[in-house]
Each structure stands twice: as structure tokens, then as C-alpha cells.
Amino acid sequence: MVGYLFLTILVFSIAAFFVGRSAGNRFVATNGVSTHSLPGYHGAFVAVWVGVPALVLLLLWLMAQGSVIDNMLLSTLPATLTEAASAADKNLLLSEIKNVAAGRIFAEPTPEITAAAETLLRWQQIASWLMVVVVVAAMLLAMFFAYSRLAPRFRARNGVEAFTSGIMIACSIAAILTTIGIIASLIYESIEFFKLVPVHEFLFGLRWEPQIAIRADQVAGNGAFGAVPVFVGTIVIATIAMLVATPIGIFTAIYLTEYASDRVRNIIKPIMEILAGVPTVVYGFFAVLTVAPAIRGAGNLMGLATSPNSAIAAGGVMGIMIIPFISSLADDAIRAVPRSMRDGSLAMGATRAETMTKVLLPAALPGIMGGILLALSRAIGETMIVVMAAGLIATLNINPLDSVTTVTVQIVTLLIGDTSFDNPKTLAAFALGLVLFLVTLGLNVVALTIVRKYREQYD
């Protein structure tokens, strides 16, 4: 029913478009160029008026219909059933009625319930027909209104323009509201957590043992929520990743901008893009199945004790993943240095390497720094690779051959399995998430500020 109604709205809008456009065509035929808007705009204007209000109306109707019917239904029930009932009981009652109405009968229903179920079915029938009538009437009304406004000098084009910008504003507001919602929930849950575990203990405590009992019958430790080992693990892995990605990324960018011939560039660039497009889960099993055993083997050869899921394997693979970030931003930054700088240096008799190190890189440095910071925030927030390849136990150490755990890994492990949202184990995930969010947000802001400032220098 509802599906057909959506289809009807679409068909009506399309029809309205053609009606409006033919009116526009008539204006153009009689008035020529003094017609304000092209026929298409007249069509779009009518179509928008027919389609959009009806659509909004329909959505509002669908949202309201359920609860309105529920309330009406409750008021028809005999007072004996509803008088003393709590909200939860009423809900139970309603869902029983709905089950009966849908034919899902588990026990013999009381006559009151059966009667109510029949009423419900009847009302639902009426409501949906009413909805069709209202929506179609709205469309006809809108059609009449919009069509009556069409005239040779009518500014249909501006009307459509206003509507388009309205849609764009609505879209961006949706994105902003989502962000605000996410932040609010993070903050709210974190506050709940900090009621159970003091902030200073979380931020400065050295023991992280979140596996506490959730149900009374479980056997587990008392728990400790000092996040320092987790932060340190994150820093170790991110550092390794940056040590891999920064030099490779920058040298790649230098090679591509200054040395590579067009042919070579056309081969390398797509490959770098493939690197950026590999799903992180693929990097993850590359780290677990290929890199980690190789590093372990090499470590054993040299007589070093290497953990099977060493930080260096996870960090190294993560580094490879973020190379394209750094190289493409560094590439942009070096290219953005005006050609006149390069020519000026070459004309002084500098070699290309001298030009690069003495003029281009210093000039591009802010842009490159911005790229590095963005890559760093990506590395800190990366989850899949470390979930697969890094460790789970939070031990406080900075040995890259040992196993460490990261903030993202801990968030994942805290939230899988048995969870209930009022104990510190689960809530700790939100606190970690909040810290992660603040750190990456800070890095991004700094990075973008640097990049923007530097852009201004030459433009």
C-alpha cells in the first residue's frame, strides 16, 4: 500500500513536470524571449510542488499513525484491563493485540483482546485509505496552486533554485546532526563510565584488566581500568607505522614529481591508488599470515625473542597502508610550489636534487607536515589491521618485537560477547572512544590549519 503510494507520488510529479513544461512551452511560443524561465524550470517548479509536500506529508503520517492508533485502541479497551496497568504492561497488551491481529496466536486470547484486534485491523484499513486520500488530495491541491502561479514573467527558475538550495541545506544539516549525535552519545556514556571509574585512574592508571564479571554467576577478576598501557601500545604501533610510511611516502612523492618520466608516473600512480583502495581487512590477514611469521622467523634467526603478533608486524603493515596518504599529499604540496621557484633555482645552476632539498622541500614542508599528521590520525584510528595482527593483552612495554594492544583493539574486545550497558567494562569502550576521537580530531584540526595556511602563501 505504502509502496504504491510512493510510486503514485513519483508518477504524479513526473506528470506535473510535463504539464508545467508544456505551459512553459506555450509561454515561450507566445511571448518569446521575454519569458522569464525556460520551460523546463516551469515543469520542475510544478513537479517539486506536487512531489515534495506530498512526500513530507506521507512520511509524517507514517510516523504518527502507529502511536495514534495505539492510543485510540487503549482507550477502547475495558477499564479493567488498563486502569492499573503500567506503561510496560500497556505495551505488552498492545503487542498481544497486534500479534492476534497478525494471526500469531500463541494462547487462546480473551474475548476483549480478540475484539480489540478486530478493531485494530479495521482502523488500520481505514487509516491507510485515509492516507491515500489525503496524500492525493494534497498533490492535486499543490498542483492547482503551482500551476495557477505559472505565467510568462513568473520566476520559476528562482523557485527551483531556492528549492535546490533548501535540499542542500537539509543534507548538510543531516550530516551535522549525526556528528553532534555521535559526540553527544560518546560524552554521555563516558560520563557514566567516569562515575564508576575516576578520570585520573583511567588516564594515568598502569593496569588495564577490563575482564570483569557481568553476570553474578561469572568468574572473573575485579578489573582495572588504567588505560596507559593501551595508549602506549597505540603510540608504539602508530610510531612504527609512521617510521615506515613517512620516508617511503615522501621519497615516492619526490620521485614522482621531479624524476619520474610521464610513462613511469602513469604506471606508479594507479598502483599507489590500488594500495589506498585495498580493504583494511586484507591488510590485516597479510599482517597475520605473511608479515608476522616472517618477522618472527627473522627474529629467531638473530636470536631475538619475537612474539607471534609483534607490534612491528601490525605497525609495519599499517605503515604500508598509509603510504598513499603521505605520498599524495606530499605530491600535491611539492606541485603547489610555483614553477618559478624551481626554474629560479635551476637557472642558478643548481642540480635537481639541490633544487629539491634546498628550495622545493622547504617550501612544501607545511603541506607535507599536514599530510603526515592526517596519516598519523588515520594510523591511530585504524582498527582492522590491529584487531587481526596486534595483541589483546595490555602489557606496558615499548619493545616493537613484543605484542602490544591498541585503543581500537580494546574497544572492539570490550564490545563483543556478553555486554550490558551499565557496567564499567562496556562503558570503558566509550571512554576510550572519546579519547581516540579527541586525539584524532586535534590532529586533523592542526593538520588542516597547517595545510590551509600554507596554501595561502602562493595564491
Partner 1 sequence: MNAMTENKGSTLVAKPDQVVIPPTVAMKGEDVSVFYGAKQALFGVNLEIERNRVTSLIGPSGCGKSTFLRSLNRMNDTIDICRVTGRITLDGEDIYDKNLDVVELRARVGMVFQKPNPFPKSIFENVAYGPKIHGMVSTKAETEEIVVSSLRKAGLFEEVKDRLNEPGTGLSGGQQQRLCIARAIATKPEVLLMDEPCSALDPIATAIIEELIDELRENFTIVIVTHSMQQAARVSQKTAFFHLGKLIEEGVTEDIFTNPVNKQTQDYIMGRIG
**308 forms part of the interface with partner 1 (CB under 8 A):** no
Tell me the C-alpha distance between 422 and 380, whole Å: 27
Residue at 227: amino acid letter: A
Comparison of 355 and 408: residue with beta carbon closer to partner 1: 355
Q: 362 and 272 in contact (C-beta within 8 Å)?
A: no
**70 forms part of the interface with partner 1 (CB under 8 A):** no
Burial of 374 (0-12, 13-18, 19+ CB in 10 A): buried
CA triple 381-435-395, angle to 5 deg? 75
**338 forms part of the interface with partner 1 (CB under 8 A):** yes
For partner 1, which residue of 195, 358, 452, 453 counts as binding (CB under 8 A)?
358
**341 forms part of the interface with partner 1 (CB under 8 A):** yes
Question: Could you tell me which of 372, 386, 361 has the C-alpha nearest to residue 444?
Answer: 372
**343 forms part of the interface with partner 1 (CB under 8 A):** yes
Between the two ends of the chain, the Cα-to-Cα distance in Å is 58
Residue at 158: amino acid letter: N
**342 forms part of the interface with partner 1 (CB under 8 A):** yes
Q: How far is the CB of 457 from partner 1 (least distance, A)?
A: 7
Q: How far is the CB of 349 from partner 1 (least distance, A)?
A: 3
Q: 203 and 184 in contact (C-beta within 8 Å)?
A: no
Q: How far is the CB of 194 from partner 1 (least distance, A)?
A: 47
Which residue in this structure is represented by grid cell 535546490?
164
Burial of 69 (0-12, 13-18, 19+ CB in 10 A): middle
Q: How far is the CB of 348 from partner 1 (least distance, A)?
A: 5
For partner 1, which residue of 32, 277, 279, 349 counts as binding (CB under 8 A)?
349
**Which range touches partner 1 (CB under 8 A), out of 344-352, 370-378, 380-388, 427-435?**
344-352
Q: How far is the CB of 248 from partner 1 (least distance, A)?
A: 26
- Contacts for 202 with CB less than 8 Å, ≥ 6 apart: 193, 194, 225, 226, 227, 428, 431
Provide the 10 A C-beta neighbour count for residue 273.
11
For partner 1, which residue of 90, 211, 354, 399 counts as binding (CB under 8 A)?
354
Site string for partner 1, 241-280 (x = CB under 8 A): ---------------------x------------------
Q: How far is the CB of 358 from partner 1 (least distance, A)?
A: 7
Residues numbered 361-390 forming contacts with partner 1, rule: CB under 8 A: 362-363
For partner 1, which residue of 344, 398, 448, 453 counts as binding (CB under 8 A)?
344
Q: How far is the CB of 222 from partner 1 (least distance, A)?
A: 59
Q: What is the DSSP letter of 224?
A: E
Provide the 10 A C-beta neighbour count for residue 30.
10
Which residues of this protein are in contact with partner 1, per CB under 8 A?
262, 338, 340-351, 354, 358-359, 362-363, 457
